[in-house]
Amino acid sequence: MKVAGVEEIRAMDRWAIEKLAIPEEILMENAGLAAVALLDREFGIAGKRFVVLCGSGNNGGDGLVVARKIHSLGGVPKVFLLGDPARFRGASATNFGILKRLPVDMRAADDLEEIRRYIVHADIVVDALLGTGLDRDVSGLYRDAIDLINDSGRRVLSLDIPSGVNGDTGEIMGVAVRACWTVTFGLPKPGNVLYPGFGCCGELFVSGISFPPELTGREDLMIALNGFVPLPSRDPEAHKGAVGDVLFIAGAAGYLGAPQFAALSFLKAGGGYARLAAPASIVPFLAQGVAEAVFIPQRETTSGSLSRRNKAEILALADTVDMVVLGPGLSLAAETQTMARELVKGIGKPVLIDGDGLTAVAADPGILRKRKAPTVLTPHPGEMARLTGKTTGEIRRNRIAVLQAAARDLKSTIVLKGAHSLIGCPDGRVFVNLSGNAGMATAGSGDVLTGAIAAMFGMGLPLEQAVRKGVFLHGLAGDLAADAKGEDGITARDILEFLPAALKQDRETPPAREPAHCRLPAVIG
């Protein structure tokens, strides 16, 4: 499913109206019908009391349709107008005129105490205040109304997006409605699927409102949900080298967990042959945790990290494998960091760079631009800040735009890790991953992700699909671990141990739908 920015959705509205001759009133009617169908299915309408809070834009117009449909189905709507009804235009003005002719109580929201009294006795609150175009902090009466909704304890349906959420970034613009359900129209907006906005949506539904696939599936829509990528079938005659031969350059004194998790997760996720180049002194300890790997003991610095003297040997070995993983637990020792940059320059195979490897290339990002073979980077926001020169605050406020620019500039596929990790491609496409949970915010989780991506590539998926599938399965394994143990206290090892179950569930899922834990928005109307 594609994800459309605010201006892209507005352009779709215009195209549907001008090119397809679909009246604006029909689009708004369809939006209201979808919202009311959800209310009726989830809660029931006849005999129930509803408070509908409307702004003066198209979002308010959608709310007017919802109020009329509630009335027609035997519910009791109470409509409060927070904006000047004289500002309604087009279909919103039409629906305002219709509702005035019906015995529906509709009044200006002059008195918050009056709204409070009605909300206390309502079964459902419908939020039709601000919509997706909000670009400044909520203030005044609208802020007071949102606080009132959130403090009421009533169930809330938001139309298109919870009021107060920025439709393009997911930012909370001062304050936002916390909905139980959200019906978004046309396509999900970034603010519907990126945190913190996603956390305000409750259960998310999508209504196409009569947009044809020629609109909603356009190639120039560069953002999409990380949908189903089928796993390659496993050849019954496969040998270990046929399902991925990957070299991990990782580890240092004091950093034993990262290389173990990366190599073992590769194997647990279906990879065949893990070679681990690590300082010789730590190899015996690593072998206790991942005996299935093949170790290539390396000379080391006085601090116990990889020595630059290994460069020629590692480059020669890299030429013989399918992919190289560089960075987990590598350390920040100056000599090792220098060698890491030289390896990135010299390796002619696909390279996945994580952890301390990202710190190394951040010191000279130009080496990434010059690489001929594909590059995958897996930064968290702090590492992304070092790679791009932006602050973590700038990145969090506009994750998609920053990711698109970085992937293009560095000619790399980039996984920007976090709640709903993003996969950015060099051509500007971005995939939003919905699997995973807050319990995965734990040391070593990123190393497990690294191994899972490498395994997907080793199993035969093209690089972009391998990255997308690895990110999804990593999140799914975390969801299965959380289901079994609870989010609090799950560790990277738990995520790793659930990788085989995640693959099993994924293989048993019909291609027409996502595995249960993907949490894609449902389609309604």
Q: Indicate whether 229 belongs to any domain.
A: no
Domain shared by 267 and 214, yes or no? no
Domain shared by 322 and 206, yes or no? no
The domain that holds 314 is classified in CATH as 3.40.1190.20
Token pair for residue 259? 């290389």
* Total domain count, the chain: 2
DSSP structural state of residue 172: B
Closest to 78 measured CA to CA, from 30, 131, 114, 36: 114
3-state secondary structure 451-513: HHHHHHHHCCCCHHHHHHHHHHHHHHHHHHHHHHHCCCCCCHHHHHHCHHHHHHHHHCCCCCC
Domain shared by 196 and 321, yes or no? no
pLDDT of residue 513: 65
> Cα–Cα distance between 387 and 346 in angstroms, integer?
20
| Neighbour-count burial of 504, counting CB atoms closer than 10 A to its CB (0-12 exposed, 13-18 middle, 19+ buried) | exposed
Instruction: Measure the CA angle with vertex 379, ends 375 and 385; round to 5°.
Output: 115
Q: Which one-letter amino acid corresponds to residue 129?
A: L
As a dihedral over the C-alpha atoms of residue 175, residue 147, residue 192, residue 395, rounded to 10 degrees, the angle is: 20
Q: Which residues of the chain have pLDDT under 50?
A: none
Domain shared by 49 and 92, yes or no? yes
pLDDT, averaged across the chain = 95
> Cα–Cα distance between 44 and 73 in angstroms, integer?
10
The domain that holds 199 is classified in CATH as 3.40.50.10260
Biggest distance spanned by C-alpha atoms of the chain: 85
As a dihedral over the C-alpha atoms of residue 209, residue 210, residue 211, residue 212, rounded to 10 degrees, the angle is: 150
pLDDT of residue 521: 81
Identify the domain containing residue 183 by its residue range. 2-221
pLDDT tens digits for 316-332?
A: 999 999 999 999 999 99
Q: Which long-range contacts (CB under 8 A, 24 or more apart) does 337-345 make?
A: 337/363, 338/308, 339/306, 339/307, 339/308, 339/310, 339/311, 340/249, 341/367, 342/308, 342/311, 343/249, 343/311, 343/314, 343/315, 343/318, 344/368, 344/371, 344/375, 345/370, 345/371
Q: Indicate whether 59 belongs to any domain.
A: yes
Distances (CA, A) of 111 to 82, 118, 137, 141, 147: 10, 11, 22, 10, 14
Q: Which helix (H) or strand (E) holds 6?
A: helix 6-18
pLDDT of residue 55: 96
Closest to 29 measured CA to CA, from 90, 75, 102, 77: 90
Q: Indicate whether 232 belongs to any domain.
A: no
- Phi and psi, residue 486, nearest 5°: 90, 150
pLDDT of residue 525: 64
Residue 180 CB neighbour total at 10 angstroms: 16
Domain shared by 313 and 386, yes or no? yes
Closest to 402 measured CA to CA, from 168, 165, 173, 193: 168
Domain shared by 381 and 508, yes or no? yes
Domain shared by 356 and 398, yes or no? yes
pLDDT tens digits for 107-132?
A: 999 889 999 999 999 999 999 999 99
Domain shared by 206 and 249, yes or no? no
Token pair for residue 417? 């890790």
Token pair for residue 225? 């949900």
Domain shared by 189 and 254, yes or no? no
Q: How far is CA 269 from the centre of its chain?
A: 21
Domain shared by 329 and 406, yes or no? yes
> Cα–Cα distance between 519 and 516 in angstroms, integer?
7
Domain shared by 206 and 290, yes or no? no
CB-based contact 51:122 (threshold 8 Å): yes
Say if pTM beats, i.e. exceeds, 0.85: yes
Token pair for residue 326? 């560089």
Q: Which helix (H) or strand (E) holds 400?
A: helix 399-410
> Cα–Cα distance between 347 and 210 in angstroms, integer?
50
